[in-house]
């Protein structure tokens, strides 16, 4: 107990310069990982989900084809080949008489079966019709504005190229499917934008304010959800005035699909907000005088935006299917607007389908797109929370 | 329990009122009414239209009265079992509809049973055999089922049945029984035809149910009490059935709420494709010809089906799960 010990406790400080990197050395990979933004992490995680990547690529290709439908389709939308009504799909061959030609199809010979009155076409092995690439063929108006006639591939001069057959007016089904992609895929996209905006606004208000606003929106959502979707869509689209132009009907249908789809999204936003608004950072923002709009938009929403995008991706296919179903029933889009559902109305007649099964071809892209969206959305949802 | 039921019923009433109001607004949406469609039709055929007669008709059906009054009359009629008048058939809606409503009910109910019966064993198998071949295969099939729109499936089935068996699988009974009074033979014939639409409508619901049941079971199976039970030497079957299965069963009932609108939607369009004598085909025809009361009755009926179905599922859930029964509504 010496008095010398009184006073401030001696404090040891190492004079040598301190370099935090020495104690814990990060490998370049680790550094890259720790410095990555959330979106980068999500991308890395998504990349590992092989099925999702493939699906994403398929979707990207489909949406890209929407931009250049006119170039991609060998025929124009309503070119009628009156000599080839209900022609079957022509297969692509590479070899003729054991010799390599460029990809070609055999020309079709037509005969009417007098017993069944079925149109029968047989490939004629003498007529070799090579497919032309980067060529000029049917005239079209690119996006309804510029005249053009350039195609990526077209039939031989004087020949035919019906890779998926023709319909009852002799129109090439493949070309019509390509054109239909433009409408079918964008319906889902516009619809989801509408439902996304409504869902975030309504769900945001309900979740942030709670109380009677929350109660009211919950009741409204419950009521909307208790209606079976399709009959409600049917009733609403039957209510679209007959006098509307096809393009107006298109937007009307998109609006209907979007207006009824937001409930799920609004619920997700609400439940997330209810818990997030209790977090400290929300309180801090509030104390610093931020307006509710800013708190919701800048502080709360971004923290689960990725989830929202993932769940929105998962609800696009239901809209595409909705449009297809409505048009199939004749309540949705009408010709001359062409979507997959409009094409499928031809398949309503089961007798025609039995004789000419290829008119069901538009079923295939529908299933592919819906599957791709589901897988892609699943991958996104898994990737949406990269820190877990 | 009793208080819970009462509260649940009280919640249902405003929902039903709102549904009827929305339905009424929707069927009123198209410009004009059935009579103006009729007038246009007559004029296009070059016939003279007697305005006095039209006005008389309009007054008779109450179409000249204000909207709110029309709604009240209609809603009051609904409560008393009077569904209004079908303009197109010139008959009361109840007579036009016939046993379509009943058949719709049978169809949807059977579909739900089918979904349960199929997804129950598959879901449990998938969960207990996670990441085995069987699990992968079943999951994949489930995904296909989820992605294929059921009316397309109906179309494809119709085509293959025609090609392979040369028969049509459309319809819900043999043609001889149509418009016949109900008999045992007719009921059997309905049962014979029922499986095609049931399978077609049920696919997507089954796929969804399997995925949820599998996820739930997997959650339960990882919990401590399962490990304890296993460590104490409980037989595997009992470990599975006695505890985790019972907890994982909740969504089975709770999901009816999600499943019902989906099933009802599906049945509406599938019955169009397969030309079943249910509500679907007639609803579309009624919508197209602006036969408003007929269309309205169908919409109301379909919505009612889901609302009552959800109510029943909530009751069943409360009966099964004391957490809901006792804490009923406290955290809502």
The alpha-carbon gap from A371 to the nearest alpha carbon of chain B, in Å, equals 5
- Cα-to-chain-centroid distance, residue B293: 20
Q: What is the pLDDT of residues A293-306, one digit of tens each?
A: 888 888 888 877 77
Please, what sign has the CA dihedral across residues A246, A248, A251, A256?
negative
The answer to whether B102 and B307 have CB atoms below 8 angstroms apart is no
Question: How many residues are present in chain A?
Answer: 388
Torsion angle defined by CA atoms of residues B143, B146, B152 and B158, in that order, rounded to the nearest 10 degrees: 80
Q: Which residues of chain A neighbour B29 with C-beta distances below 8 Å? A: 236, 239
A146 phi, psi to nearest 5 deg: -105, 135
Closest B-chain CA to A363 = B152
Judged by a CB distance cut-off of 8 A, whether residue A321 touches chain B is: yes
**Residue B209: closest CA among B111, B320, B107, B129:** B111
Q: Which residues of chain A neighbour B163 with C-beta distances below 8 Å? A: 354
Contact yes or no for A321 and B22 at CB 8 A: no
Contact yes or no for A363 and B156 at CB 8 A: yes
More confident of the two residues B6 and A144: B6
Instruction: Give which of B17, B30, B44, B151 to mutate to test A binding, by max A Cβ within 10 Å.
Output: B151
- Partner residue opposite B287 with nearest CB, options A235, A353, A367: A235
Task: Count Cβ–Cβ pairs < 8 Å, chain A vs chain B.
Answer: 124
Q: Which residues of chain B neighbour A235 with C-beta distances below 8 Å? A: 26-27, 287, 295, 299
What is the residue-level pLDDT of chain B in tens, covering all 332 positions?
A: 777 788 888 888 888 888 888 888 887 777 666 677 677 777 777 666 677 777 777 776 667 677 787 788 778 877 777 777 777 777 777 777 777 888 888 888 888 889 888 888 888 888 888 778 888 888 778 777 777 777 888 888 877 877 777 666 666 676 666 666 777 777 777 777 788 888 888 887 888 888 888 888 888 888 888 888 889 988 888 888 887 887 777 777 777 777 777 888 888 888 888 877 777 788 888 887 777 778 888 888 888 888 888 788 878 877 777 766 665 444 43
B167 phi, psi to nearest 5 deg: -115, 160
Q: Provide the pLDDT for residue B61.
A: 67
Q: Which helix (H) or strand (E) holds A318?
A: helix A305-329
Residue whose tokens read 């006095």: B52
Q: Provide the pLDDT for residue B178.
A: 67
Q: Which residues of chain A neighbour B101 with C-beta distances below 8 Å? A: none
Residue A267 tokens, joined: 């619920």
Instruction: Give which of A59, A217, A228 to mutate to test B binding, by max B Cβ within 10 Å.
Output: A228
More confident of the two residues A327 and A386: A327
Q: Among A21-30, A198-207, A324-333, which is the least confidently predicted range?
A: A21-30
Residues sharing a CB contact under 8 Å with residue A203, sequence separation 6 or more, in sequence order: A217, A265, A266, A267, A268, A269, A270, A273
Residue B37 and residue A238: Cα distance in Å, rounded?
Answer: 14
Is residue A262 over pLDDT 80? yes
Residue B263 and residue B257: Cα distance in Å, rounded?
Answer: 10
- Partner residue opposite A227 with nearest CB, options B31, B261, B273: B261
Residue whose tokens read 């023709």: A166
A60: confidence class by pLDDT, cuts 50, 70, 90: very high
Q: Provide the pLDDT for residue A57.
A: 92
User: Of A18-32, A248-262, A298-312, which one has max mean pLDDT?
Assistant: A248-262
Contact yes or no for B15 and A222 at CB 8 A: yes
Q: Which residues of chain A neighbour B170 with C-beta distances below 8 Å? A: 350
Residue B8 and residue B1: Cα distance in Å, rounded?
Answer: 10
DSSP category for residue A242: T
The interface pTM score, or ipTM, of the predicted complex is 0.77
Please, what sign has the CA dihedral across residues A91, A97, A100, A104?
negative
More confident of the two residues A276 and B33: A276
A46-to-A36, A51, A377, A380, B140 alpha-carbon distances in Å: 15, 10, 10, 6, 20
- Cα-to-chain-centroid distance, residue B329: 26
More confident of the two residues B1 and A232: A232
B138-to-A102, B119, B210, B219, B327 alpha-carbon distances in Å: 43, 10, 9, 19, 37
- Partner residue opposite B162 with nearest CB, options A328, A354, A367: A354
Interval A282-295 mean pLDDT: 87
- Three-state secondary-structure class, residue A133: strand
Judged by a CB distance cut-off of 8 A, whether residue A382 touches chain B is: no
- Residues above pLDDT 70, as percent of chain A: 97
Residue B287 tokens, joined: 């919508």
What structural domains does chain A harbor? 73-170 (no CATH), 175-384 (1.10.3720.10)
Closest A-chain CA to B156 = A360
Q: Provide the pLDDT for residue A163.
A: 81
A131: confidence class by pLDDT, cuts 50, 70, 90: confident
Contact yes or no for A222 and B147 at CB 8 A: no
Q: Provide the pLDDT for residue B32.
A: 65
Q: Provide the pLDDT for residue B194.
A: 81
In three-state form (DSSP H/G/I as H, E/B as E, the rest C), the secondary structure along B135-162 is HHHHHHHHHHHHHCCHHHHHHHHHHHHH
Contact yes or no for A329 and B264 at CB 8 A: no
Instruction: Give which of A184, A210, A224, A230 to mutate to test B binding, by max B Cβ within 10 Å.
Output: A230
A5: confidence class by pLDDT, cuts 50, 70, 90: low
């Amino acid at each position: 107990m010496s008095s010398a010990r009184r006073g401030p406790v001696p404090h040891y400080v190492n004079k040598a310069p301190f370099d935090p990197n020495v104690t814990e050395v990060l490998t370049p990979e680790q550094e890259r990982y720790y410095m990555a933004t959330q979106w980068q992490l999500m991308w890395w995680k998504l990349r590992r989900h092989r099925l999702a990547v493939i699906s994403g690529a398929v979707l990207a290709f489909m949406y890209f084809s929407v931009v250049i439908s006119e170039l991609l389709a060998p025929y124009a939308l309503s070119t009628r080949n009156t000599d080839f009504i209900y022609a079957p799909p022509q297969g692509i061959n590479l070899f003729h008489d054991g010799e390599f030609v460029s990809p070609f199809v055999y020309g079709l010979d037509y005969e009417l079966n007098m017993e069944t009155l079925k149109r029968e076409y047989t490939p004629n092995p003498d007529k070799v019709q090579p497919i032309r690439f980067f060529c000029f063929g049917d005239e079209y108006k690119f996006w309804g504005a510029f005249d053009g006639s350039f195609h990526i591939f077209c039939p031989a001069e004087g020949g035919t190229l019906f890779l998926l057959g023709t319909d009852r007016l002799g129109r090439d089904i493949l070309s019509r499917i390509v054109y239909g992609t433009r409408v079918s895929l964008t319906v889902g996209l516009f619809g989801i934008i509408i439902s996304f905006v409504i869902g975030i606004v309504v769900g945001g208000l309900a979740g942030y304010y709670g109380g009677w606003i929350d109660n009211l929106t919950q009741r409204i959502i419950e009521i909307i959800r208790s209606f079976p979707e399709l009959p409600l869509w049917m009733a609403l689209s039957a209510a679209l005035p007959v006098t509307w132009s096809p393009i107006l009907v298109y937007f009307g249908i998109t609006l209907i699909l979007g207006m009824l789809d937001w409930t799920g999204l609004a619920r997700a936003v609400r439940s997330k907000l209810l818990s997030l608004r209790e977090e400290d950072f929300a309180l801090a923002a509030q104390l610093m005088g931020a307006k509710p709009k800013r708190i919701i938009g800048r502080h709360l929403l971004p923290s689960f935006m990725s989830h929202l995008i993932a769940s929105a991706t998962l609800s696009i296919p239901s809209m595409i299917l909705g449009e297809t179903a409505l048009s199939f029933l004749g309540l949705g889009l009408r010709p001359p607007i062409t979507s997959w559902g409009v094409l499928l109305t031809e398949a309503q007649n089961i007798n025609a389908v039995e004789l000419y099964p290829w008119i069901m071809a538009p079923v295939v892209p529908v299933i592919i797109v819906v599957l791709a969206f589901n897988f892609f959305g699943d991958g996104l949802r898994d990737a949406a929370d990269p820190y877990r | 329990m009793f208080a819970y039921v009462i509260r649940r019923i009280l919640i249902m009433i405003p929902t039903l009122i709102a549904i009827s109001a929305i339905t009424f607004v929707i069927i009123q949406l198209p410009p004009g009414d059935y009579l103006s469609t009729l007038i246009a039709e007559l004029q296009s055929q070059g016939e003279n239209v007697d305005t006095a007669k039209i006005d008389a008709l309009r007054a008779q059906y109450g179409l000249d009265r204000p909207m709110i009054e029309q709604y009240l009359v209609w809603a009051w009629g609904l409560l008393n079992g009077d569904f209004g008048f079908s303009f197109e058939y010139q008959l009361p809606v109840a007579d036009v509809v016939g046993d379509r409503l009943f058949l719709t009910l049978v169809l949807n109910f059977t579909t739900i049973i089918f979904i349960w019966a199929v997804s129950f064993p598959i879901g449990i198998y998938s969960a207990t055999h996670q990441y085995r071949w069987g699990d992968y295969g079943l999951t994949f099939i489930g995904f296909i089922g989820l992605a294929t729109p059921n009316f397309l499936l109906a179309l494809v089935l119709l085509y293959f049945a025609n090609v392979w068996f040369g028969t049509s699988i459309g319809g819900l009974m043999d043609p001889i029984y149509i418009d016949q009074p109900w008999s045992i033979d007719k009921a059997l014939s309905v049962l014979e035809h029922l499986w095609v639409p049931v399978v077609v409508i049920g696919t997507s619901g089954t796929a969804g149910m399997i995925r949820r049941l599998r996820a739930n079971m997997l959650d339960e199976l990882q919990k401590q009490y399962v490990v304890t039970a296993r460590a104490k030497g409980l037989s595997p079957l009992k470990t599975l059935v006695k505890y985790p299965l019972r907890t994982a069963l909740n969504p089975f009932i709770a999901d009816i709420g999600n499943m019902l609108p989906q099933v009802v939607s599906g049945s509406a369009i599938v019955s169009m494709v397969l030309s079943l004598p249910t509500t679907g085909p007639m609803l579309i025809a009624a919508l197209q010809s602006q036969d408003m009361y007929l269309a309205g009755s169908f919409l109301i009926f379909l919505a009612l089906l889901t609302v009552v179905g959800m109510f029943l599922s909530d009751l069943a859930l409360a009966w099964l799960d004391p957490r809901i029964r006792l804490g009923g509504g406290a955290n809502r």
